[in-house]
Structure 1
């Protein structure tokens, strides 16, 4: 029962966190819009029927039934219809009709007093600030949460205290012998090392961190060297000889490299047969932005490969293939991961809380990256439209041509609708996959 309650608690925690992130994303659009005197008619969290709303000043604030995003409605998002500002042109083509109806809707609430308060009349730089306000808010939330994670909780780092001492030497890729008393002992086991021992020096060099110790061991294959460790508060000196063996090559992200055939890439190095314990180490403020940058780069890589990744998700969802743990997941998947983390009673509460905060930080950084894609209806699409408007006005000015005026982004609405359908299909696929074939992160 406790496990179930913890699972639900984790899901609720992340659900509330995502809802607040969406709300603040829209605040990122709302504040600069009001600062630049654009009339904002609605600030809504969610879509569909309105569950609650309250009007304050000229803006209605509310919550809708479908918690799948939010929006800020500004008057005059598109220039008026070209005939006279309100009358529809004679063309009845499908694409023209879509753009015409969108322009009409954008001007339904525009009154004479709003002549200079419509969005489309804003300078390009103000349009960009308004549209980037939402993603920037997610970036800011991600930075704050990453700061709480790194500076408040810290990161798990290998210490010089042993957590594991392997009993038998086993070739890489081979199974562990069933009879641990009848096998070739590892150098560590032969030297009498035990879990809980703390390594103090190796080959006459003080050991202050696990990475340097590992590098020294790897470079000392076949060489007998003195080793000093502490057990029960007492230093003990022994001799140890690392054996030459194949070990996997690990990349900068801690992932084993594989060749074109999917086989692990190995290298012959010195080996003792020990593993470190981990401890949470708080990081300085200077570590926050680099960590955020690394996360953004990784998320950008997933977004760039999204079509390929989605093919893999579809194949896994409709077959026996496993899901890629580094692939995209939906909010359902995020909630499931949060619930599983919260329910792991064997893990300290502080570690579970840190993982949930890191999860929310990742969600916000993903929202930041995804919304910058230069495709309507995403914020990046509006930014791209504003940049195009600024470019063509600059060109006209340089060549002393007539100012072409605001770019009519309503002409791109047919593409927008197609993109929206694709995004919804992607979301539906991910949700289905997260239900029938969830990502297995914990074995």
Structure 2
């Protein structure tokens, strides 16, 4: 039964991934047609075609490998300086440029000279290329909003759920107290489950995050703690100790790292709370900032990822995870003993996070990503505007095809990174608890 539920979870994620890809390409397709650019193909996946149907001048289809998708627009690049499309050279770099240019004109038909992508105004090209990632952002926004406002989020409050009986570092394998362990400051101060903390060391607290910050900065201090118990306020005294605790990122989320900090020995109640629109927006903004930071940190993660893939080093949850790894996590989550609604919520959260990541990655100003084409169109607009201001001749279209050698290098780097992540996901996957 567990294996069946795992496969079902992976299948649900795979269907969600296919929809996300199709949704992304639909954004490109819609605006390309709005601006009357001819689109010969709209395909979800790569490799051999499984199914296709032609409607109008576009072939719609599904391919065998659901790892991406594309639409084919004619005239992605302007002709060369000589006005020709098929200019050749013995230079391998020039050959890359002209091969890419020629490919964008392969399906040119009579009358298509007015339906080429490069002939559209820069702002129109920006819209066409931005529309794909934007669709992923819209989908992520909708899914997260439904989860945060409709279902709710487990939110720590100031009421004590449990009191640790002893001081145990976060790296300990078990919560069982060793014989020589010291009582926790909370236990020694006679804090109890159900107490609601009102103030800490004279500071009135309004959230658990604030309380946790005060606790961590109060190592080796004796502090008064005001709690509400049974409708009455009591003042307790605790002497905090220094302990090994989980480090936090810039958003206050725990990481795999550890730090030495003040330790009280309580865990809060975390009821599921439905967020308001403003709270949901703030939470999504924090997630977007965290996603940007994660993308910027990808190069620094490669050595540890290599060790996890080939040296047997432990796989940590802050390492990059690919589509295979995320699908595996989705399958494991679906096989866990939990209400069915919780399982679907987890799958939705995975898909929402995936779509947010697709948006952020595609907005990098690098070819062959959508952001690279956007950057090329913006650069062309800036050159032309500058020429008009200084009354200089129009510099014409910016030849994005000249950047194709760089695009091949970028694609090669992404491919190698994807393979490395895939190997790590297979041989040493991230586990969920």
> 1:109/1:431 Cα in 2 relative to 1: closer, same or farther (>3 Å)?
same
For 1:266, the equivalent position in structure 2 comes to 261
**Paired position in structure 2 for 1:275:** 267
Partner of 2:91: 93
Distance 2:120 2:206 in 1: 59
1:5 corresponding residue in structure 2 = 4
Per the alignment, residue 246 of structure 1 pairs with 242
2:112 aligns with 114
Is 1:145 matched with 2:147? Answer: no
2:13 & 2:170 partners in 1: Cα distance? 40
Distance 1:239-1:22 versus aligned 2 partners, 3 A rule: same
TM-superposed deviation, 1:367: 0.5
- Out of 393, 401, 405, the residue aligned to residue 402 of structure 1 is 393
Counterpart pick for 2:321 among 329, 341, 344: 329
**Per-residue deviation, 1:312:** 2.0
CA separation in 1, counterparts of 2:323 and 2:75? 33
Distance 1:198 1:9, change over 3 A: farther
Most deviating of 236-245 and 32-41: 236-245
Question: Normalising to structure 1: TM-score of the pair?
Answer: 0.85
Matched, 1:427 2:418: yes
Shift of 1:168: 3.3
1:135 and 2:133 correspond: yes
Structure 2 unmatched ranges of 5 or more = none
Instruction: Work out whether residues 189 and 238 of structure 2, in 8 Å CA contact, stay in contact via their aligned partners in 1.
Output: no
Report if aligned partners of 1:385, 1:407 keep a CA contact under 8 Å in 2: yes
State the 1:223 CA deviation: 5.8
| Aligned equivalents of 1:125, 1:17: Cα separation in 2 | 31
Moved more, 7-16 or 103-112: 103-112
How many angstroms apart in 2 are the aligned matches of 1:226 and 1:402?
A: 75
Q: Is the 8 A contact 2:251 2:290 kept in 1?
A: no
Q: Is the 8 A contact 2:88 2:95 kept in 1?
A: no
Query: Are the counterparts in 1 of residues 363 and 370 from structure 2 also a CA contact under 8 Å?
Result: yes
Contiguous gaps of at least 5 residues in structure 1: none
Q: Which stretch shows the higher mean deviation, 96-105 or 307-316?
A: 96-105
Counterpart CA distance in 2 for 1:238 and 1:393 is: 72
Provide the rounded CA distance (Å) in 1 between the counterparts of 2:171 and 2:327: 35
Q: Which residue of 2 aligns with 1:384?
A: 375
Distance change >3 Å, CA 413–CA 336, structure 1 → 2: same
User: Are residues 236 and 321 of structure 1, via their aligned partners in 2, closer, same or farther at CA, if it must alter by over 3 Å?
Assistant: same
Tell me how large the CA RMSD over aligned residues is: 3.2
Closer, same or farther: CA 311–166 of 1 in aligned 2, 3 Å:
closer
Q: Distance in 2 between matches of 1:349 and 1:44?
A: 33
SS at match of 1:40: coil
- Alignment: residue pair count: 426
Residue from 334, 347, 356 that aligns with 1:356: 347
Distance 1:173 1:64 in 2: 46
Work out the CA distance in 2 between the residues paired with 1:72 and 1:53: 13
Is the alpha carbon distance of 1:391 and 1:169 closer, same or farther for their aligned partners in structure 2, counting shifts above 3 Å? closer
- Give the superposition deviation at 1:324: 3.2
Q: Say whether the 8 Å CA contact 1:17–1:360 is kept in structure 2.
A: yes
Contact 1:164 1:276 in 2 (8 A): yes
Most deviating of 369-378 and 199-208:
199-208
Residue 303 of structure 2 aligns to a residue in which SS? helix
Residues 27 and 134 in structure 1, CA contact (< 8 A), matched pair in contact too: yes
> Under a length normalisation based on structure 2, what TM-score does the superposition of the two structures give?
0.87
Structure 1 residues 64 and 190: alpha-carbon distance in aligned structure 2, compared to 1, 3 A threshold: same
Preserved CA contact (<8 Å) 1:342 1:352: yes
Per-residue CA distance 1:154-198 (angstroms, 9 max, x = gap):
11112444332222356898896434xx97654654676654x35
